[in-house]
Every structure is written in C-alpha cells, then in structure tokens.
Structure 1
Amino acid sequence: MGFIPLVEEYRGGVLENVHYGAVTIVDEKGRLLYSAGDPEHMTFLRSAAKPFQAIPAMKRRIDEAYGLTGRETALLAASHRGEAFHIDALESMMHKIGIDEEALHCCATYPLNEDAKAQRYWAHEAKRRIFHNCSGKHTGMIALCKHMGWDEHTYYDPEHPVQKEIVQTLAYIAEVPEASIPQGVDGCGLPIFALPLSRIAYAFLKLACPDLIADADTRDAAGRIARLMNEYPDMIADTRFVCSELLKDANLAAKGGAKGVYGIGLRQERIGISLKVSDGSEQVWPCIIASILERLGYGNEETIDRLYKLVPNTIVNDGGTEVGFRRAVFDLKA
C-alpha cells in the first residue's frame, strides 16, 4: 500500500509500536515537492472533507440568509466534540434556520469530549443527534436545502442535489475527473469521497490560498469558510484537539478526519500537506505534523510547541511516571 514507518514508540528502551503511513507535500501547481511513502495512495477524506462540503452552502451565503454568527457558521466545517458552547451554538442555528433536531440524519450519541460526555451522562441526559460531531455539517446541508427549495428529508442521498454539488466541488478544487472519485458512506451516514494523498494536499492548499481557484463564487466561498475556521478554532474541534490548535495559526488551513487522514494548507509558503496513518491513530498526528513543520523550517515555533504540548513525545503511565517515548522516523524525500 506504499506505507512506511512514520512514528516509533518505545517503552523501557524496547520498541513497542510502529505507526505506518504516508506523507505528501505539493506546490501551488499541484506538483510533488516531498513525500514519505506513496503520494498517490487513495484514501477517504472522512471529516477532512468538511470544509469542502460546506462550500455549496457558503456560495449561497447561507450564513447571511439565516442570520448566523461567525461562530455558528464555522460549525458547517466542524467536527465539534460536544462542549456546552458547541451545543448552544447548534441550538441557536437550528432555531434561526427553523429545523428540528430530528431532521438530522446523523445518529443520537454522547459528545466526544470526555468531560462533556460525563456531564451529560451524570445529568441523566439522553443521547442526542445534536451531540454528534457532524451535526453542524448536517445542519448546514439542511439549511441549503431550505434555501434552494430542495427536499430536506433526503439530503443524505448520493443523488440529492446537495451531495451531487459537493462531489462536483471537490472534483473541481482537487482537479480530478468527477468519475474518478470513489464514494462510500461516512460514519454519520453522509456520502464520503476518496482522493489520492497528492490531491488532498492540493485541495487544502487551495483552501488556504483560494486565489488558486478560478471560479469566483467558489473562490469566495472557500476563502470565507477557511477564515472562519481560523477565527473560531475551538468551534472546529474543542479546546484541546489538534485541529483547533493548528487553526490558531492564521497561516494554516487544517482539518483531520477519522482513520488517520489529515490535510493542511500553508498560506505564506503556498504548499499543501496531506498524511495518512495506516492504523487510523489520531494520537500520533501532533508528532507527525510537528515533525513535518520542523523539517520544512516552519517559522512559527509557537504552533509546533502547541502540538508537542497537546501530545508530548514523552510516554507516561497512568500515574504520570515517564515510561517511554515516541519519535518521528520518516524522511521527506524530494
């Protein structure tokens, strides 16, 4: 599958685990600059697709049509983890748009954030669809249906106008034939798409640098959702998660997805980065991304420090005693 070792983990001086995967870096023309592993490995974007799935709604200025705040609109591209401020914003959005929570196709669940989950559980609250990390994306799609007069009850069907426009948008931005994009079903029940890692990197570069997008409406929509992600980073994940930490850096457009996929665009450097961890681990994202930025000579050391603080390379046991370490072991080949 073209995967190589990305991260090794040691305990007591013994190699305990190896995380395999691939990394790809492209320039503003989509040309390969560096790679580790196979840059053409095909992988589903999962939640890394959310900024692109939000573009059709942003093109119609759904936020203005329904009077959504910037914090609320950012949730269209979010994998929120169900903290109280996320739920408050979602309830406000639904009230403004005029939809009921039961209209969401995603299943009822508890929040992903452990503290938020515990609070809801010990308060004897039932699982809710709005707690699902994809509920902002679903809300945005239903809002687009209402605005366009499309059927609101089948918005998740691959043949629905919303879903057809989303895959057309992704194909346009990634510069691949629409027919070449494999589709599956995401965890939340919506269609999801696969691209080669090189095209994922290129799409995220365009998200960061929308001047590379020829169509004016698409360019404006991509730029606006990307800016909102940077302006409200805690809305995209939560107060301690890699997406939110990266988005605090105004130079980056970034979003991760389930099963270890991640995309980053760098505005000043005008490069795109994508990575896939083959075992699906998200815990090693900070180690890999920080290492990539260091090897590229990235100038914002605060961003790199935040990643290492989020998931230190020191491994501790349940009592907090240091018992091992992890390290990035890949080379970026030109």
Structure 2
Amino acid sequence: MRFTPLVEEYRGGVLENVHYGAVSIVDEKGRILYSAGDPEHLTFLRSAAKPFQALPVMKRKVDEVYGLTGQEAALFAASHRGERFHIDALESMLLKTGIKEEGLHCCESYPLNEDAKAERHRDREPKRRIFHNCSGKHTGLIALSKHMGWDERTYYEPEHPVQKEIVETLAYIAEVPEASIPQGIDGCGLPIFALPLHKIAYSFLKLACPDLIEDKETREAAARIARLMNEYPDMIADTRFVCSELLKDPNLSAKGGAKGVYGIGLRNERLGISLKVSDGSEQVWPCIIASILERLGYSNQETINRLYKLVPNSIVNDGGTEVGERRAVFELKPSSRE
C-alpha cells in the first residue's frame, strides 16, 4: 500500500496526528490525470457502492411499480442517519411494497444521527432494522426481488440473482472483468466489492455523466438515481453530513462509505474523483475534498464553503477555544501515463 500524508493536524503548533491515504482523479476516458498516493490501491467501496447497487432497482423502475415518491426512492442509494423524516419515509416504503421490517437482513440498531438517537432513547424505543443506515438499500433490493419473482428471503446471499446482477453492473460501469472484483461482506450483511481507486473515480464520473454509459437501460437508471440524489440530498445522509452538503450542488454526484472511501463525479468538468483515508477517518473528508476542488479551480465556492463550515480546519477544545488546525498537505501529481 503506497499511501501519502493527506491531512496533518497540529495542536499548539506541534504536529499531533497525520491521516494518510490516496487520491485519484480521472477524465472521461478513465485516464488518471492526477493522483496522490497509489491510484491503483484496491479499495472496498462500502456504502459508496449504494448508487451502483441501486441500478438494478432503477432499471426495473421499482419506484414506479410500488408508487414510491422521489424522497422514498432516493433512500435506495442512502446511508440515512435516522432522522424522523427518514424513518417516516421508510415506514411508507414498507407499507407500499408490503415488505415486513423483519425481512430486512440489516441488523436492528439506533440511528447514526446523535440527536435522532437521543430522541429514540428518550422515548424508550427499542432498536429497529429501519433505523439502520442501509435499510433503504435493503428495502429496494427486496422490492426488486418481489417484483421479479425472486426469493425475497435470501436476497442478501452472493448467489442470489439480485446480487449477481449488482456485480455484473458494477463490472460494466467500472470497465473491469467481473472475475477481477474481490468481494467481502459489508457491515449491513450484504456482499460488498473492491475496485482500484481510479476505477471508483471513473464509476462516479459515469454516475454524474451517464452519457458515457453505452447501454440504454443502465444509462437511464444511472441518470434517475443520480437525479434523485441531487433532488433530495438530505435523504442520502442527513442535514449535517458531507454527502448531503455535496449533493446540494447540482454539478456533483457524490457518496462516501465506511473506512474513509469517497467518490465524486463532476458533470460540467467531466472528472471523477476518489479518495481513501487509510485510518478510516470521515472527519477529514471535508478538508480533503475542499482542497481537491480548490486545486482543480472549482468555480462553485459555495460548495467549498459548506464543507469548511461542516468541519472547520480550526481545531477547538471542549469549550470552543481554538487550539490547533488541520491542513491538507498532499500534492496532486500529474499522471505520467500517456
């Protein structure tokens, strides 16, 4: 693993912490334009895979089949953090599709959003499967299985038709042999996949610019899920998280995953960006992404400002006093490839 320092954190002028990782930026032909660290680093997409896992669902127009709203369908690609409006939408989805909550393979949990979690504790509510951040994805895959006449109970198994189609779709989008994609099991219990970092960037570019996808059904499905993510950004994470802040910018397709992986597609610039923080930190995502956009000369300063507001580069103590700073320290090196 060839990682490079991405972010340094200082306290009292002393270097306290370093976050290592890698960055890859590609063009519309999948060529690596710039990188920091190893752009070939094999990386599990984790929840950054959700827009691509949703493509078979969108191909069959499952949202239309069951009369789902746009807000509800956006949850197919979400890592929702369990705010009240997320749970209301999920309960509506279960009612419309006839899916039982106990049929979801993701475990019972409490919301990731701290305020939402505290609210559930105050009300003495038990853990629920729809509180899990992946429950929208699971609901979509069960709904697809139900619509296609596939076994709804085993939708999470690697040999299930829905999982096989997901791998086939990802291989097609990333332009890699299906046999070359390593698989593991994600935190929610579904199969998850690893790609070279630059292929993740290329996949997100295609999500942002679906005209790069030759197959009509896949192209239309990618356009639909990407549009929903931009139209309902707060459904994808919550009202205070980097995914939702980025998706408020209609020029971007974006999704992060556990253990520090992130993918972004830029529509007007026709660029794909991916990054991996080796220690899995998500807190430094805004610093890294804002720095990448600045170095690319990105014109929407409001998006960059939102990232810095979400997680400022100034480090404060528990009383709110500034005690240090974080700095993006990586260099985006032009690719030597022809």
Do they superpose with TM above 0.5?
Answer: yes
Structure 1 residue 82 and structure 2 residue 82: aligned? yes
1:243-262 to 2 correspondences below 5 Å? 243-262=243-262
One-letter code of the match for 2:45? L
CA RMSD of aligned residues (A): 0.3
Q: Which amino acid aligns with 1:332?
A: L
1:119 deviates by: 0.2
Tell me, in whole angstroms, the C-alpha distance in 1 between the residues paired with 2:26 and 2:99: 41
Q: State how far apart, in whole Å, the 1-side matches of 2:2 and 2:236 are.
A: 31
Confirm whether residue 96 of structure 1 aligns to residue 88 of structure 2.
no
SS at match of 2:156: coil
Distance in 2, Cα, partners of 1:44 & 1:32: 19
CA distance in 2, matches of 1:121, 1:207: 38
Q: Match of 1:7, SS?
A: strand
Per the alignment, residue 65 of structure 1 pairs with 65
1:247 aligned partner, one-letter code: L
Structure 2 distance, partners of 1:20, 1:198, is: 17
Q: Which letter does structure 1 place at the counterpart of 2:26?
A: V
Q: Deviations over 1:11-46 (max 9, x none)?
A: 011000000000000000000100000000001000
**3-state SS of 1:320 partner:** coil
Q: CA deviation at 1:98?
A: 0.3
In the alignment, the residues of structure 1 paired with residue 62 and residue 53 of structure 2 have an alpha-carbon distance, to the nearest angstrom, of 13
Q: Where does structure 1 differ by over 2 angstroms across 4 or more consecutive aligned residues?
A: none
Q: Which amino acid aligns with 2:92?
A: S
Aligned residue type for 1:158: P
- The aligned counterpart of 1:47 is 47
- 1:113 corresponds in structure 2 to 113
- The aligned amino acid for 1:199 is K
2:148 paired with 1:148? yes
Amino acid at match of 2:71: R
Do residues 242 (structure 1) and 242 (structure 2) align?
Answer: yes
Q: Which residue identity is paired with 1:191?
A: P
Letter in 2 for 1:203: S
TM-score, scaled to structure 1: 1.00
Provide the rounded CA distance (Å) in 1 between the counterparts of 2:247 and 2:2: 29
User: What is the letter of the counterpart of residue 104 of structure 1?
Assistant: L
TM-score, normalised to structure 2's length?
Answer: 0.99
Q: Does 1:330 align with 2:330?
A: yes
Q: In the TM superposition, what are the counterparts of 1:196-235 in structure 2 within 5 Å?
A: 196-235=196-235
Deviations 1:292-319 (A, max 9, x none): 0000000000000000000000000011
CA offsets per residue over residues 282-301 of structure 1, 9 Å max, x none? 00000000000000000000
Check if 1:320 corresponds to 2:296.
Answer: no
Q: CA deviation at 1:122?
A: 1.2
- What letter is aligned with 1:134? C
Q: C-alpha offsets along residues 170-211 of structure 1, whole Å, 9 cap, x if unaligned?
A: 000000000000000000000000000010000000000000
Q: Which runs of 5+ in 1 are unaligned?
A: none
Tell me the SS of whatever aligns to 2:333.
Answer: coil
Question: Do structure 1's residue 35 and structure 2's residue 32 form an aligned pair?
Answer: no
Identity among equivalent positions (%) equals: 84
Per the alignment, residue 159 of structure 2 pairs with 159
Give a deviation string over 1:216-263, Cα, whole Å, max 9, x none: 000000000000000000000000000000000000000000000000
